Structure 1
């Protein structure tokens, strides 16, 4: 019996120790799942900035006024209507491809800024049968030609409109889109024109900017009448527009798309 008691004591001590170990051991707790980061915010709308014009000696094709380092080109006047309406224009520039690439609702209102003879205006009118094309120019002679041509073609949804050198002279939020074909580089007041166009476009309205490719020396156009994509982005993004892309369907020109946020 004397031997049994120490054995029982030993067993009890072992049991108590085991119970105490399990009792004191803390349960394993897995670390919490990491909190996922919030979704990235969409790119903020570019803020318009005011850039001073710089003047200097004019080159033969320029006016001696510089914007973002680019000399502004001389305006092509109404005597050049024949060049705008030349029969080989389709072969050289493929305007039908540009028009096909421009997406518009049938009831959209689009302004053809620097419409000239209306070469694009009349062709664009077919895309907006329930809307209209505002054919804007600063030369009354161009608008007179437009009116006569509209009557000849019996097109009623092309509206000639006289703008100013620094203002499109259109109501706020009245446009779904704007088209500028080889004209923007000649604007003597590009900063003011872009600001007025920003006001005239509805939120989400787009600019379709066609310019001869300044990066390509094979394009047979005088340098000041061409623009690089980088230069166009610098100027339009500086005016508060968002670059959407360059469609690139044309042999000589950029077809760049910008949006009014």
Structure 2
């Protein structure tokens, strides 16, 4: 049994980069007129795997909308205990990888336990910094940020790092609870409007590629690097449900 456990741990690598000598920029309390929420503590992790989550978020549809394919390199940014990480890992398959980034080592340990139980081995855990997710440059096909971007204390630095990590055809997908809908039972501090998301992303080197509007409580917005080719078909599902293209101005 000890040898079996050791082998499992070796296959499921924890990637921790040494602390940078450079000074970490000061954390922001507000950005572009928005109050930044505090990071969810790891003790709240059970909420991430609540039984009602499929009904509240339509997780199955959300994952299909990502357009992931076998062999892709995807990132679950702010992965927590891996609710979406493991779903993504199943889609990209043994030839693909999921880079699971979190700033709390406790969350990564919870993810490790869940991955081992599910016998999923194509996940790399990355202990990021508040200003740097420690992603490889130019290698990532898709970065998923689910209900986490609004907690970034260093949004400018994080967006720059994520942009640098994407392939030219890569996508950054933001999923946030809809601030426009007062019936969504989430505190306002943990919601974002489409206009706010778009204002912040376009100010940091991204352009809106497409949107999916049929989730129960959340926006789903796909961003490309603003220097990327405008070929939106590469990461779209083969038969997408109702979606809307960004309006031209």
> What is the TM-score normalised by the length of structure 2?
0.78
State the distance in 1 between where 2:116 and 2:31 align: 39
Instruction: Please state if 1:206 is matched with 2:204.
Output: no
Q: Does 1:65 align with 2:29?
A: yes
Inter-partner Cα distance in structure 1 for 2:194 and 2:147: 13
Q: What is the alpha-carbon distance in structure 1 between the residues aligned to residue 125 and residue 101 of structure 2?
A: 6
Q: Which structure 1 segments of 5+ residues have no match?
A: 1-54, 56-62
Secondary structure (helix, strand or coil) at the match of 1:217 reads coil
Alignment of 1:82-101 (within 5 A): 82-101=46-65
Does residue 1:147 correspond to 2:112, yes or no? yes
| Alpha-carbon distance in 2 for matches of 1:136, 1:74 | 17
Q: Structure 1: which 4+ aligned runs deviate by more than 2 Å?
A: none
- Per the alignment, residue 193 of structure 1 pairs with 158
- CA displacement, residues 159-192 of structure 1 (integer Å, 9 cap, x when unaligned): 1111110011112102111000000000000110
Comparing 240-249 with 192-201, which one deviates more in the overlay?
240-249
**Number of equivalent positions:** 200
In 2, distance between residues paired with 1:115 and 1:219?
22
Deviation (angstroms), 1:239: 0.7
State the partner residue of 2:83: 119
- Report the equivalent of 2:194: 229
Measure, in 2, the Cα distance between the counterparts of 1:104 and 1:118.
17
Distance apart, 1:92 and its partner CA: 1.3
Cα RMSD, aligned residues only: 1.4
On the 8 A contact 2:28/2:154 being kept in 1, the answer is no
| Contact 2:150–2:190 (8 Å) recurs in 1 | yes
Q: Displacement of 1:245 after TM fit?
A: 1.8
- Post-superposition shift, 1:64? 7.3
Contact 1:178 1:208 in 2 (8 A): yes
Name the residue aligned to 1:258. Answer: 223
Task: Tell me if structure 2 keeps the 8 A contact 1:136–1:161.
Answer: yes
Structure with the greater alpha carbon radius of gyration: 1
Residue 105 (structure 1) shift: 2.5
